[in-house]
Amino acid sequence: MEKIDTLSSWKKLAFTFVLLGLFYQTHWKRLFISSYLAVMVIAGLIAVPLWLADLTIRSGREPGIFMTNHSSQSMAFIAAIVCCVFLLKQQLSAQKKCLLGAAIVLFVFNIFFISTARSGYLAFPFAVIFAAGCVYGYKKLLPIIAVTGSVMLVAILCSSTLQQRTQTGLTEKAGYQTSGELTSIGVRVIFAKNTLSLIKEHPVLGYGTSSFKSTYSRYAAAQYSDWRGTSTSDPHNQYLFVWLENGLIGLLLFFAYIYTAIRQGLSNQPYGVIAASFLVAVCASSLFNSHFKTFPEGNLLAFFVGILLAQRNLETKESP
């Protein structure tokens, strides 16, 4: 049953192949992007007054967070920013470009001032630099990095939310060995150390699909008697998870999927760039999460990759 559950968690990527066959026509891609942006603008406008009023509408969530969780909300806005970067290069009126610029400001505010998701802080620069580099050309990479860095600097200096979350993370990282209680960053460090120790024992073939929880739990319980011995089914690192269960062979196959999707995105202009850029963002955030497998991020990624990488059949090729 556990093996079925584990395999089922990857079904989100299977949605990609369904969508590849449905959205090969350009106007469907345009409709998807415009609809997604409209929804995210509404979501961003809802989040701001909730945050300002310090209101929570979902139990256990921070003010302004009304999606699945703060990480999912941040990643959704990052996907929207990537769409905006792409659209700004298109032949649009000055008014529409100003509206896109305002939308970007709204999304950035949500990511850095409202959301407490550190994964969003990490994924943002990777997504924006990659997307802008693809859209405007890598000869302009230095100005792109400078602009993105300036946005990050302003956020760091002005956002008390970002400052607090960053300081908390650094404190938890520094004191995880002596901490008397489980912390978000501290437990991730322990997960990573224990997982790497287990990987060293079976680096090539791994321990088998759905083996993570049982394998890790036995090892952690034998090493620690406090919170460090906490059982888990996920190390909060997608790459370590794949490596432990499926070995180096499985990890290389996983990297092959990522490489193929990004390469296909870059060669399937112009919409493929959006999919490739969001995939890069998910790859970055998955260093500290398992966003390929989690329900909201995994499904969102499947939709972006499946819809925006769909190619037109040569026999029914549309005119530009």
pLDDT in tens, 207-218: 998 899 999 999
What tokens were used for 308? 């925006």
Measured distance CA(77)–CA(82) in Å, rounded: 9
User: Taking residues 288-314, what's their average pLDDT?
Assistant: 82
What tokens were used for 192? 């990573």
pLDDT, mean over the chain: 90
* pLDDT tens profile 99-111: 999 999 999 999 9
Closest residue by Cα to residue 132 from 117, 149, 118: 149
What tokens were used for 98? 């100003």
* pLDDT tens profile 185-204: 999 999 999 999 999 999 99
Measured distance CA(106)–CA(100) in Å, rounded: 10
Residue pointed to by tokens 């972006």: 304
User: Taking residues 48-56, what's their average pLDDT?
Assistant: 95
pTM of the model: 0.88
Upper half-sphere CA count for residue 186 (Cβ side, 13 Å): 18
Contact 79, 282 (CB under 8 A): no
* pLDDT tens profile 110-128: 999 999 999 999 999 999 9
Q: What is the predicted pLDDT for the residue at 8?
A: 60
Residue pointed to by tokens 């001032």: 113
Contact 297, 291 (CB under 8 A): yes
The residues spanned by each domain of the chain are 33-314
Handedness of CA 284, 287, 291, 292 (dihedral sign): positive
Contact 236, 288 (CB under 8 A): yes
pLDDT band at residue 27, thresholds of 50, 70 and 90?
confident
